[in-house]
């Protein structure tokens, strides 16, 4: 069912392209019998020209007109042969329109339908947690990292799409980030009997990663220098046989208290004689957006004996879900919602992420509008290419109108003159019919002409003038019959 659903956008794109072709080439639906061929029109123009040159020898004007109409018919055939080339100018807008439709369909599919495998940079020990949270609702490829800094490096190298980053690690401003509801707690423990001023050896987490960097900043704020770090917290949580070194003076890490392994590690430290200490970082701590003051109440870690034996001050540390700036922020939010579906995610730069997405949408709309204007311009250039030929046809109609208006049958009483005039007007009507057909042939061969008024203007002029000529011929015939009847 899911596979069938994923193919629906492709089917819609295919239908859109097919409908575009049908709209641009409506004559493809017609049978061959209904398609206009220009050769019979050229042959008819030759016959009319020969008849005019034979019967209307004294009328040089209409003789010249018949020759020009024949040339216009032959020219239409040449233009048709040129426009049938696949790279003909009038076909370029169609090709570009198809490319725009395909590109828009591809963009919509990639951003709203396509679900790709997300490359997740994460520590190996946390993969089971992520798998449990996601529950198979998203295809994930886990890429092991050493911590927050390593995860950001993988994003920069485009080896991963998203990663968890602990507060205190500098995140590039262009990256998308979401603040997760789950916080980590700064744990500061001193060995019993040790004075804070005597701290020399500090146990922390992985070297060069989140907890280590944050611990170094905190000790620097507290005025501690020349501190040696021992990066054995992972051994303490994962290896039950690990022996805590005797030379450790303090423990300073940022960890989640919701994980059982961290609570077990704390119990081992308590048994070893480490005591929870209050932590006050002053104005520096209050100025950091990723830190929030918190109080650990009495007996929070152990009730018997009560640990801590009095309320202690500490800090909560934000955890971020981060992606590269090229990653869709909507997808990032969707991934975060899989972890915490009932919690409202707070984004440190949510406005920036929304602004970035709106800027992308605006850029897309500008590109779309530019492409639309470009297509319109190409359509206009195509129309200009036909304007000269249509102006020639319009001029021929005007010349025919001048010649036919000079042949007034109403006041003419000579039967022979009336007969010649009727022949003259009949040939004018034939020439107008040929011009009308040539116009229709142009529209058939280049469907872009259907979007302007050239064809309809010429057709209306031809039809109106032919009606006028036919009325003059009929009036002359009736007058001739009345004359015969009176005799």
pLDDT at residue 4 in the model: 45
pLDDT at residue 10 in the model: 59
Enumerate residue ranges in the chain where pLDDT < 70: 1-35, 82-91, 93, 111-116, 124-126, 128-129, 132-138, 341-357, 359-360, 363-364, 375-386, 409-413, 446-453, 477-487
Domain 118-346 fold: D-Maltodextrin-Binding Protein; domain 2 (3.40.190)
Neighbours of 427 (CB within 10 A): 25
Burial of residue 45 (CB within 10 Å: 0-12, 13-18, 19+) is buried
Q: Judging by DSSP bridges, how do beta strands 312-323 and 162-166 pair with one another? A: antiparallel
Q: What are phi and psi of 172, to 5 degrees?
A: -55, 140
Residue 18 tokens, joined:
């097919």
pTM given for the model: 0.53
Can you list the alpha helix ranges (DSSP code H) found in 272-406? 282-287, 329-339, 350-405
pLDDT at residue 317 in the model: 92
Q: Which residue has the tokens 């994460």?
A: 122
Q: Which of 341, 28, 328 is nearest to 162 (CA)?
A: 328
**Domains in the chain: boundaries:** 2-82+386-481, 118-346
pLDDT at residue 226 in the model: 83
């Amino acid at each position: 069912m899911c596979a069938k659903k994923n193919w629906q956008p492709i089917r819609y794109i295919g239908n859109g392209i097919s409908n575009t072709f049908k709209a641009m080439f409506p004559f493809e639906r017609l049978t061959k019998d209904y398609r206009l061929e220009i050769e019979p029109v050229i042959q008819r123009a030759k016959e009319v020209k020969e008849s005019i040159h034979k019967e209307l020898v004294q009328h040089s004007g209409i003789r010249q007109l018949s020759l020009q109409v024949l040339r216009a018919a032959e020219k239409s055939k040449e233009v048709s042969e040129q426009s049938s080339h696949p790279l003909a100018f009038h076909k370029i807008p169609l090709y570009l329109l198809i490319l725009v439709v395909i590109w828009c369909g591809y963009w919509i599919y990639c951003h709203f339908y396509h679900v790709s495998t997300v490359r997740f940079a994460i520590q190996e020990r946390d993969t089971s947690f992520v798998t449990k949270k996601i529950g198979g609702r998203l295809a994930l490829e886990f890429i092991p990292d050493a911590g927050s800094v390593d995860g950001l490096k993988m994003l920069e190298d485009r080896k991963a799409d998203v990663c968890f980053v602990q507060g205190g690690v500098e995140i590039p401003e262009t990256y998308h980030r979401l603040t997760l509801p789950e916080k980590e707690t700064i744990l500061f423990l001193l060995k019993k009997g040790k004075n804070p001023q005597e701290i020399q050896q500090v146990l922390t987490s992985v070297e060069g990663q989140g907890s280590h960097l944050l611990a170094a900043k905190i000790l620097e704020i507290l005025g501690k220098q020349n501190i040696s770090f021992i990066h054995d917290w992972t051994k303490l949580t994962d290896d039950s046989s690990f022996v805590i070194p005797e030379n450790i003076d303090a423990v300073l890490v940022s960890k989640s208290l919701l994980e059982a392994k961290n609570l077990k590690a704390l119990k081992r430290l308590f048994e070893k004689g480490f005591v929870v200490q209050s932590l006050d970082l002053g104005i520096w701590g209050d100025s950091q957006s990723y830190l929030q003051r918190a109080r650990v109440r009495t007996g929070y870690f152990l009730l018997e004996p009560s640990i801590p034996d009095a309320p202690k001050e500490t800090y909560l540390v934000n955890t971020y879900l981060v992606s590269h700036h090229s990653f869709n922020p909507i997808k990032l939010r969707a991934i975060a919602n899989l972890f915490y579906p009932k919690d409202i995610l707070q984004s440190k730069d949510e406005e920036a992420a929304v602004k970035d997405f709106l800027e992308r949408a605006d850029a897309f709309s500008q590109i779309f509008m530019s492409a639309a204007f470009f297509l319109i311009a190409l359509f206009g250039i195509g129309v200009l290419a036909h304007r000269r030929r249509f102006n020639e046809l319009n001029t021929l109609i005007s010349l025919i109108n001048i010649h036919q208006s000079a042949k007034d049958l109403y006041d003419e009483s000579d039967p022979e003159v009336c007969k010649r005039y009727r022949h003259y007007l009949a040939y004018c009507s034939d020439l107008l019919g040929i011009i009308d057909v040539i116009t229709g042939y142009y529209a058939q061969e280049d469907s872009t002409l259907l979007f302007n008024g050239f064809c309809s203007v010429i057709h209306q002029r031809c039809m109106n003038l032919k009606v006028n000529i036919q009325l003059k011929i009929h009036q002359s015939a009736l007058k001739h019959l009345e004359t015969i009847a009176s005799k």
